Structure 1
Amino acid sequence: MEGRLIGIIFFSLLLGMVSGVLAGLFGIGGGIVIVPALVFLFTAQELPADLVMIMAIATSLATIILTATSSVLAHHRLGSVIWGKVFRLAPGIVVGSVIGATVAHSIQTDLLRLIFIVFLLYVGTQMALEMKPKVGAANYSMPIDFVVASVIGLMSSLVGIGGGTLTVPFLMHCQYSMRNAVAIASACGLPIAIASTLSYMVLGMHASNLPAWSIGYVYLPSFFGVSLGGVMTAPYGARLAHKLPAHQLKRYFSLLIFILAAKLMWY
């Protein structure tokens, strides 16, 4: 048991380091890599099969709390965060995140996995085709902002991400520049991560067959390992982005995403 725990922490640390580099290099959320990697790790370590997918998603969201906090502080120091928009979107995001966790808790594992596979295919296609959101001229009312934010929170909570993939295109459609959209999306990732993580902790508190060192569906050894690894390497990934041909590498990374999707599909 002790050897298995050490192995999980070690591989989670490596996973965090890899996801940190990728996040800094490509500007993507770590959940895209963290969730499938944790699924394979938890399965290899013989965690209960019916809990593997939901625990991978919940643990990924928990790690985003630390990475999102670091990212928000950096963007705030640069003056890029428009807090008025963040506070306007936050209520819907929190509501959607709680609903998303509740849905994940209620549906079958195979359906939850299928939802994540579809999301991977969506992100992989975006990266392969280098699809970039365009600045629009929309100016939505508060009720529409609430509905959109709720959908972003719901989907992010369902697939274990900070929501930037969904939030940035919406914000650019609402007249924000890429710089401000990324900063606002980073800030919005924090309520997504906090609301989702707390929901998964509470909803999973009485789940049967939970492994030791779990708080609800959040598996603490992987949470600490991935968080530490990500904090260590994210700045290095950001520096690499200025030295390597990131646009070309994005296409190679999209292939990795498609492979992960295929592996989960026939898993």
Structure 2
Amino acid sequence: MEFLSAYSPAWLAGLVLALLVTGAIAGVLAGLLGVGGGIVIVPVLYHLFTLLGVDESVRMHVAVGTSLAAIIPTSIISARAHYKRGGLRPELLKPLIPGALVGVLIGSLLSGVFSGQVLAAIFAVVALLVALNMAVSKSLSLRDGLPGRFGTGLIGVFIGGLSTLMGIGGGTLSVPMLSAFRTPMHMAVGTGAALGVVISLPGAAAYLINGLGVPARPPASLGYVNLLGLALIVPMTMLTAPLGARIAHAINAQLLRRLFALFLAITAARMLLGAFDL
């Protein structure tokens, strides 16, 4: 690990602690708000890689790929926890899966073409919109129930494609969209957690393959998936995701949603400014 030898033990200990805390927060938020841990993991990894001097050409790709890989176990645990509490109904999830898989394929192909700057800009812009949605107390309401097969398929493509480009679980986009179709919040959160499994598995595999042999990646990276970050983040997300799901069924999370929206807006704005060196 010659790459890390330039940093003091205290700095490296801080890095480890930051990754552990990131995993813990990501897990709680995945279970509590259905936003997917990636909305926390990606910006934190992006800024940590910036501090470590990881080349800009791969910085965002590795952050996204590592996040998608970390989301796999988190989404599985969170989805199971919601299913046990009656917060996940297969009849709501199944119509979204084909479109989501098509979206993952499109997002995976585009991720191999887009620069890190473009990926960072996409993440920042969508994250700002998500933050705005979370800060508004009254959700958008369109109609009762999802549209027909074609419309639901398009929704799945949108969620799968953007989630793959951003390195986030499907819940970040699916929860507000399902809420707009007047799906009960607990059902929307549980469905979002399950979509995270559908999206993160093929998405992480795509980033792993796309990054094989690419120069300037940080050490301990397999493709665009950093194994060191994965090893520190995943155990914490697995421990805390069920806790978030329990809290979601016990409290009104509106204040927490607004506080997280503020954090997300600040983080996204910093990423957007950094992407264009402003």
Same fold (TM over 0.5): yes
The size of the alignment, in residue pairs, is: 267
Deviation at 1:203, TM superposition (A): 1.3
Deviation at 1:146, TM superposition (A): 1.9
Provide, for residues 202-248 of structure 1, a one-character-per-residue CA deviation record: whole Å limited to 9, x for no partner. Answer: 11113222333212111111112111122223344556668887433
- Partner of residue 89 from structure 1, selected from 86, 92, 96: 96
CA 1:56–1:89 in structure 2 vs 1: closer, same or farther (change >3 Å)? Answer: same
Q: Which amino acid aligns with 1:162?
A: G
2:194 aligned with 1:187: yes
- Partner of residue 226 from structure 2, selected from 197, 216, 219: 219
Provide, for residues 90-115 of structure 1, a one-character-per-residue CA deviation record: whole Å limited to 9, x for no partner. Answer: 12111211211221221122121111
Q: Distance in 2 between matches of 1:15 and 1:216?
A: 22
* Structure 1 counterpart of 2:118: 111
More moved, 170-179 vs 111-120: 170-179
Q: Distance in 1 between matches of 2:92 and 2:215?
A: 41
Backbone CA RMSD of aligned residues = 2.6
Q: Distance in 1 between matches of 2:30 and 2:227?
A: 22
Q: Which amino acid aligns with 1:137?
A: D
Q: Distance in 2 between matches of 1:131 and 1:34?
A: 27
* Structure 2 counterpart of 1:156: 163
CA 1:74–1:244 in structure 2 vs 1: closer, same or farther (change >3 Å)? Answer: closer
Q: Distance in 2 between matches of 1:42 and 1:154?
A: 24
Q: Distance in 2 between matches of 1:241 and 1:75?
A: 10
Deviation at 1:24, TM superposition (A): 4.5
* Structure 2 counterpart of 1:54: 61
2:238 aligned with 1:231: yes
Q: Which amino acid aligns with 2:4?
A: R
Q: Distance in 2 between matches of 1:175 and 1:22?
A: 22
SS in 2 for 1:266: helix
SS in 2 for 1:106: coil
Q: Distance in 2 between matches of 1:164 and 1:133?
A: 16
* Structure 1 counterpart of 2:133: 126
CA 1:239–1:18 in structure 2 vs 1: closer, same or farther (change >3 Å)? Answer: same
SS in 2 for 1:81: coil
Provide, for residues 48-70 of structure 1, a one-character-per-residue CA deviation record: whole Å limited to 9, x for no partner. Answer: 22111111111111111011100
* Structure 2 counterpart of 1:78: 85
2:213 aligned with 1:206: yes
Q: Distance in 2 between matches of 1:240 and 1:85?
A: 23
* Structure 2 counterpart of 1:196: 203
* Structure 2 counterpart of 1:98: 105
Provide, for residues 153-190 of structure 1, a one-character-per-residue CA deviation record: whole Å limited to 9, x for no partner. Answer: 00111111112132223334445332322222221111
Q: Distance in 1 between matches of 2:142 and 2:48?
A: 40
Determine if contact 1:32/1:161 at 8 Å carries over to the other structure: yes
Deviation at 1:3, TM superposition (A): 8.6
Determine if contact 1:136/1:172 at 8 Å carries over to the other structure: no
Deviation at 1:39, TM superposition (A): 0.5
- Partner of residue 43 from structure 1, selected from 26, 37, 50: 50
Determine if contact 1:61/1:197 at 8 Å carries over to the other structure: yes
More moved, 69-78 vs 13-22: 13-22
**TM-score, structure 1 normalization:** 0.88
Determine if contact 2:208/2:224 at 8 Å carries over to the other structure: yes
* Structure 2 counterpart of 1:4: 4
Q: Distance in 1 between matches of 2:32 and 2:175?
A: 17
